[in-house]
Amino acid sequence: MFERSVCPIGCLVVGLYLCACFKTTPPATIEKNLNQNEISRDSTSQPPGNPLGEQAGAWHNPCSEEIRLANQTINNQALESTTIGVLLPLSGRYAAYGKAALEGIKLGAGVFTEPGPGGRELILEIRDTAGDPDQTVAQLEKLVTQQQVIAVIGPIFKAETRAAAKKAEELEVPLITLSGLPDIAQTGAYVFRNFITLEAQARSLVSYSMQKLGVEKFAVVYPANGFGLAFAEAFKAEVGRHKGEIPVFESYPPDTKDFSKTVRQLIGLARPEERPDYVALKQKIYKKYKKATARKRALKRLARRLPPLIQFQAIFVADDYQRAAMIAPALANANVFLHSDDKNEIKRYKKGLGRKKLKMVYLLGGEGWNHPELIRWAKRYVQGAVFCDGFFSDSSRDVTRLFVDQFRANYDHDPDMIGAHAYDSARILKTIIEDKLPPSRLELRDQLLELKGFMGVTGRISFDENGDVEKELFLLTVKKKKIVELQKDLPAT
């Protein structure tokens, strides 16, 4: 395989010729690397504001109409290309994410495997976006008009992804983005998305909670920022779709470290005057005690002894593992207990509170909870918590285990969620190119839309009519000292 990498000077040029890695035959995917002079010549295509581009020459953006017509001619002819474009931030503040995605793409494209009999050579044309929308568009135009790629993988982040999606639709080239933007695939017929979204997480959690756990009422707690509100609203919408209820919907400042107040709001202790049982007991106190001082002491005792009002069966926390590790102990301190398989622990709770029955709840979270620090910080308090993720490296799924082993063997570290989704995206294109031999970008786009149940390392993958990914997520829980997979298949949504 050839891999061509074009990055600004000073940035790590990714990929070397890999024939030396094999004893005899080169791998089926051809990997090329431009030499330093080629990189310098290519720098004239950098957008304004790039220091290298300003030194090397004026940046010129070809007329969009000319590009569109030229590309239309290519699409109307037999392209027969095996070249895949890659658009990732390989320099700048997001370089680590780009590197993770590139590792997955190279493995999925077959860089490290021997060629099969009659296999087609794949070429990866890798371009650095630097996280910049203008640079992304310029590189995408070159990939389509000069390298004549049949499809492109990337980008990752919001601004560059929106710019690339719009341009890909104009150029009529299939683009598989690695972005969580929920509406990005609706940009046009050539734009696809293969990544986890807040909406997908909400679907998985609500479906599992209501269909498998029997939950009908939820409490939602979220940080008062853009992410927290978006996640909470996505969860709320999904609960509504399943005809569930959310009697408690509370926010907290994003920098909160003491969650006792938030928990009191959840269980009706922050505003007791809104509780019917408190109002009834208060009236009795006023009838029993005539003196103000006696009434005041009695009301204080009532407030201290007032039991939690749990109007829900599950609590969804729209935040990461750090806040979850703070919220869970605060719940326990307020005598709100999670469902547990440990019968002895439940007996201790009942004995300590002097109760025969406990109203226990489920604790739910998103992909940000899948972190070992969650257990280190709050192991005792998050036992049985349920959360989801787009990838789980310790999964028992055969295809995922094989991928993790191969990834570790080639890179000497574990893959992350970005790398796993990038791997699946590359493997999808590789499979279609090798098995279907699409003669044009239009044909490749149609075959992506027809993809159903592709066995990926992130789950069974299909694309809907808009090019948006459909897949089951990994459901996880905490069991003693480990995060474990809850089940292989999610219930139907």
pLDDT in tens, 438-450: 999 999 999 999 9
- Please determine, for residue 63, whether its predicted confidence score (pLDDT) is greater than 50: no
In this predicted structure, what is the pLDDT of residue 118? 63
Mean pLDDT of 292-304: 88
Is the backbone of residue 92 left (phi > 0), alpha (psi -120 to 50) or beta? left
Same structural domain, 446 and 431:
yes
Same structural domain, 333 and 445:
no
Query: Is residue 490 assigned to a domain?
Result: no
In this predicted structure, what is the pLDDT of residue 377? 94
Mean pLDDT of 343-348: 67
In this predicted structure, what is the pLDDT of residue 354? 58
The model's confidence at residue 335, banded by pLDDT at 50, 70 and 90, is confident
pTM (2 d.p.): 0.80
Query: Is residue 225 assigned to a domain?
Result: yes
Please tell me what DSSP assigns to residue 92. S
Same structural domain, 441 and 375:
no
Domain span holding position 415: 2-195+397-472
The model's confidence at residue 390, banded by pLDDT at 50, 70 and 90, is very high
Same structural domain, 255 and 325:
yes
Query: Is residue 478 assigned to a domain?
Result: no
65 vs 11: which has the higher pLDDT? 65
Task: Tell me, rounded to whole angstroms, the distance of Cα 278 from its chain centroid.
Answer: 43
Same structural domain, 186 and 216:
no
In this predicted structure, what is the pLDDT of residue 273? 83
- Mark which of 371, 389, 407 sits at the end of a domain: 389
Question: Both tokens of residue 244?
Answer: 């569930």
The model's confidence at residue 347, banded by pLDDT at 50, 70 and 90, is low
339 vs 258: which has the higher pLDDT? 258
**Nearest of 487, 467, 453 to residue 169 by alpha carbon:** 467
CA distance 109 to 121: 10
Question: Both tokens of residue 74?
Answer: 């290519």
In this predicted structure, what is the pLDDT of residue 269? 86
Query: Is residue 119 assigned to a domain?
Result: yes
In this predicted structure, what is the pLDDT of residue 120? 72
The model's confidence at residue 352, banded by pLDDT at 50, 70 and 90, is low
For residue 155, whether the previous peptide bond is cis, meaning omega lies within 30 degrees of 0, is: yes
Same structural domain, 348 and 251:
yes
Query: Is residue 89 assigned to a domain?
Result: yes
CA distance 324 to 318: 9
Same structural domain, 207 and 346:
yes
In this predicted structure, what is the pLDDT of residue 38? 29
Angle between helices 441-449 and 64-76 (to 10 degrees): 80
Same structural domain, 187 and 222:
no
In this predicted structure, what is the pLDDT of residue 111? 87
Which backbone phi and psi does 161 adopt, to 5 degrees?
A: -70, -45
Query: Is residue 216 assigned to a domain?
Result: yes
Average pLDDT of the chain to the nearest whole number: 83
Same structural domain, 154 and 231:
no
In this predicted structure, what is the pLDDT of residue 462? 97
The model's confidence at residue 420, banded by pLDDT at 50, 70 and 90, is very high
The model's confidence at residue 121, banded by pLDDT at 50, 70 and 90, is confident
Q: Which amino acid would we find at residue 431?
A: T
Of the listed ranges 178-182, 323-327, 418-422, the one predicted with least confidence = 178-182
CB 384 within 8 A of CB 477: yes
In this predicted structure, what is the pLDDT of residue 372? 93
Counted domains in the chain = 2
In this predicted structure, what is the pLDDT of residue 241? 97
- Please determine, for residue 62, whether its predicted confidence score (pLDDT) is greater than 80: no
Mean pLDDT of 38-60: 30
In this predicted structure, what is the pLDDT of residue 471? 93
Please tell me what DSSP assigns to residue 440. S
- Please determine, for residue 141, whether its predicted confidence score (pLDDT) is greater than 50: yes
Query: Is residue 221 assigned to a domain?
Result: yes
- Please determine, for residue 50, whether its predicted confidence score (pLDDT) is greater than 80: no
Strand residue runs (E) in 122-206:
122-128, 151-153, 175-177, 191-193
Same structural domain, 20 and 120:
yes
In this predicted structure, what is the pLDDT of residue 277? 87
The model's confidence at residue 31, banded by pLDDT at 50, 70 and 90, is very low
| CB burial of residue 243 (10 Å; 0-12, 13-18, 19+) | exposed
In this predicted structure, what is the pLDDT of residue 52? 27
Query: Is residue 52 assigned to a domain?
Result: yes
- Mark which of 389, 420, 437 sits at the end of a domain: 389
The rounded percent of the chain whose pLDDT value lies above 90 is 65
In this predicted structure, what is the pLDDT of residue 172? 97
CATH number of the domain residue 365 falls in: 3.40.50.2300
- Please determine, for residue 51, whether its predicted confidence score (pLDDT) is greater than 50: no
The model's confidence at residue 304, banded by pLDDT at 50, 70 and 90, is confident
- Mark which of 355, 389, 423 sits at the end of a domain: 389
Same structural domain, 403 and 431:
yes
- Please determine, for residue 18, whether its predicted confidence score (pLDDT) is greater than 60: no
Of the listed ranges 123-127, 207-211, 237-241, 287-291, the one predicted with least confidence = 287-291
CA distance 181 to 377: 31
Q: Strand 482-487 relative to strand 474-479: parallel, antiparallel, unpaired?
A: antiparallel
Same structural domain, 349 and 456:
no
- Please determine, for residue 299, whether its predicted confidence score (pLDDT) is greater than 70: yes
In this predicted structure, what is the pLDDT of residue 340? 74
In this predicted structure, what is the pLDDT of residue 342? 65
Mean pLDDT of 124-149: 97
CA distance 104 to 149: 19
**Nearest of 348, 397, 391, 347 to residue 370 by alpha carbon:** 391
- Please determine, for residue 49, whether its predicted confidence score (pLDDT) is greater than 50: no
Question: If DSSP codes are grouped into helix, strand and coil, which group holds residue 242?
Answer: coil
In this predicted structure, what is the pLDDT of residue 378? 92
